[in-house]
Amino acid sequence: MTAVSHTLPLDVPLKQDASIIGLVGLAHASSHFGHLLLPPLFPVFMTEFGLSFSQLGALMSVFFVVSGLGQASAGFVVDKLGARPLLFLALGLFALAASLASTVTGYGGLMVVAALAGLANATFHPVDFTILNQRVSAPRLGHAFSAHGLTGNLGWALAPVFFAGITALSSWRTAYVAAALLYVAVLTLMWFNREKLLTHAVQHAPDTPAEHSMAFMKLPVVWWCFGFFLLSTMTLAVVQSFSVSILKAMHGISFESATFTLTAYMLCGAVGMFVGGFLASKSRHSDRVVAASMLAAAILLAVCGTGFFGATWTMVVLAATGFAVGIGGPSRDMMIKKATPKGATGRVYGLVYSGLDTGFAISPVLFGAFMDRGWFGATLLGAAATLLLSVVAALGVGQRTQR
């Protein structure tokens, strides 16, 4: 039962590492941009097709259910075929989804777009981390994970501006044509740099039993990693889905100011990830860095839930919460790397990151019930409590990795 390992020398030129990190970062930004392929235009769909909030919410549930199931499976394919083919396929599927979105005439078409985009999104985390772990030198992996998280946040930040801007200038159908062309441009760039994205498929000795490929699922640490992603993402989903409505309801903040606060949260998260890259590169205890940052974020979020600081300071503290979460991002990815058995990178990252999709699918339903009852502060307090549970999960990962 032997897996072939491919280790880079420690003196890899900075330019080589930087180019690979940049390409993978662009791919990750593209996947996060795809998360918001539909939501920025929900108000348009309500008017155009007469849809309800429940119907629109179901579109995102389809996206994340398909993505989660696909992500858990994609890791096996990445380990068997290498990451590059699935990266090209995913970008092509996103281009196809955006093209289809420009032609939809009703709710059924939007459902197909959501499912297709979810399938496209499914491959990115096992693909990205397989490329980074195989192609970036070890001393720069912390910075690579930092750039990976940062570009994801920038992808989230770009999508609303992109779709709202082009829709205002032309039409929502034109916006989707432009999105499709954007994905084609990214795919073209990746194709011309394909040699930098080449990874090795996992090779096992001929006498390796078939069940070996599933052996990683018996490791408790893998499921602790999954639990961490599920819990921490549930909190992020609350902020993304409900923070604007909560700020308006609790403090009478305008829609524009509340939306700006959400954008500030994402941008502060990106800055936090940049800073966190240096911590991830130097710290031996990734789990403790993650736990400390999530604990700080949980406290800040709970303060927002009390409404104690009033409108202005609540907006400031909520944005600062993004910075605290962002600091832990690179160490989180390093924590998963340390817990991953050799030769199982794609499979482990696929399963563990499917916890992210699961959290995004569950959280709006659970905390949406709080919102329907007018429990706005309790929604933030509940999200803070969930984030505290992720602290326990992170420390659990660290303990089981040491064993």
The DSSP result for 62-105, as a single string, is HHHHHHHHHHHHHHHHHHHH-SHHHHHHHHHHHHHHHHHHTT--
Helix (H/G/I), strand (E/B), else coil: 3? strand
86 by Cβ neighbours in 10 Å (0-12 / 13-18 / 19+) ranks as buried
User: Do the domain assignments include residue 44?
Assistant: yes
Regarding whether 327 and 402 lie in a shared domain, the answer is yes
Please tell me the total number of residues recorded for the chain in this structure: 403
User: Do the domain assignments include residue 389?
Assistant: yes
Distance, CA of 101 to CA of 111 (rounded, Å):
10
Regarding whether 165 and 18 lie in a shared domain, the answer is yes
Single residue among 199, 230, 265 that ends a domain in this structure: 199
Q: What is the pTM of this model?
A: 0.74
pLDDT for the residue numbered 114: 94
Single residue among 139, 169, 199 that ends a domain in this structure: 199
Regarding whether 267 and 164 lie in a shared domain, the answer is no
Regarding whether 140 and 249 lie in a shared domain, the answer is no
- Domain range for residue 139? 14-199
Single residue among 165, 199, 233 that ends a domain in this structure: 199
Which residue type does 15 have? K
Regarding whether 243 and 297 lie in a shared domain, the answer is yes
Regarding whether 236 and 106 lie in a shared domain, the answer is no
Q: Residues 339, 114: contact at Cβ < 8 Å?
A: no
Instruction: Give the CATH number of the domain where residue 157 resides.
Output: 1.20.1250.20
Regarding whether 231 and 159 lie in a shared domain, the answer is no
Q: Which two tokens stand for residue 385?
A: 């409590």
pLDDT in tens, the chain (403 residues): 334 444 555 567 888 889 999 999 999 999 999 988 988 787 788 889 988 767 877 888 889 889 888 877 777 788 788 889 999 999 999 999 999 999 999 999 999 999 999 999 988 888 888 898 888 888 888 788 888 888 988 898 888 788 888 988 999 999 999 999 999 999 999 999 989 888 876 655 444 554 555 666 777 788 888 889 899 989 988 887 788 788 888 988 886 787 788 888 888 988 998 888 888 777 778 889 999 999 999 999 999 999 888 888 999 999 999 999 999 888 887 887 777 776 666 677 777 877 888 888 888 778 888 888 888 899 999 999 999 999 999 888 877 775 5
Regarding whether 270 and 238 lie in a shared domain, the answer is yes
pLDDT for the residue numbered 10: 54
pLDDT for the residue numbered 345: 63
User: Do the domain assignments include residue 4?
Assistant: no
Name the one residue in this structure whose structure tokens are 């800073």: 275
Would you tell me how many other CB atoms lie within 10 Å of the CB of residue 283?
A: 17
